[in-house]
Structure 1
């Protein structure tokens, strides 16, 4: 192979690598936190906010970056938009809550710890929990 052929092969390899690295990034468009929350709540209607939820009924918890914590209790999804510290919410953090009963209430504080290092990352002061239920079908 001549020097020109090697240069061409190298240039093609670099171009292929660059395209493969940017291809998935272009295909994955990042949704806004509000859009992620709307997708979770699609087909549901908000009810009257409550001060506490019964934690044993919660199956799954999801953090929406800088916005809210979603508590999935099966037929009801509760959304908590913290009164303070919402900007600290990161879906890669682990939430730690000191509970004194089986209920989680709007006066409770949730500590955030980095999932990888375990280091403290901040906290949120919970607000009221808004229940979302599926619309009744006719």
Structure 2
């Protein structure tokens, strides 16, 4: 039995010695093992990053496109609202009468309407003084060309 106690105790001492010796030589071998592990880890990280690069780039591009489409949709909605207001406005009889009177010089049968021709251009704007002369109407230009063609040279 003494051998049994001595054996494990002696074996334990031998294991410590072996570990120390193995640990000392393992330190020399540990650097190449860590380097190869680090290289494998670097390759794996690079492979993962390369495999994720394209999807991430596509995701970012799609997010930009979605944002632009949302801006366009908002602009289109504003335009629809403006047109809906304009449609409602054009449906009102009073607005149509005002515009017909203002733009087309229409008058209701029970109202006397006057158009004052004061040389300001007809639509209420003042004529420019010293500015370029207005182009004569087409019929005056045609008549002048006929008159000039009749003159002897």
Choose between structure 1 and 2 for higher RCO, CA contacts under 8 A separated by at least 6 residues.
1
TM-score (norm 1): 0.30
User: Larger radius of gyration, structure 1 or 2?
Assistant: 2
Query: In proportion to residue count, which structure has more strand?
Result: 1
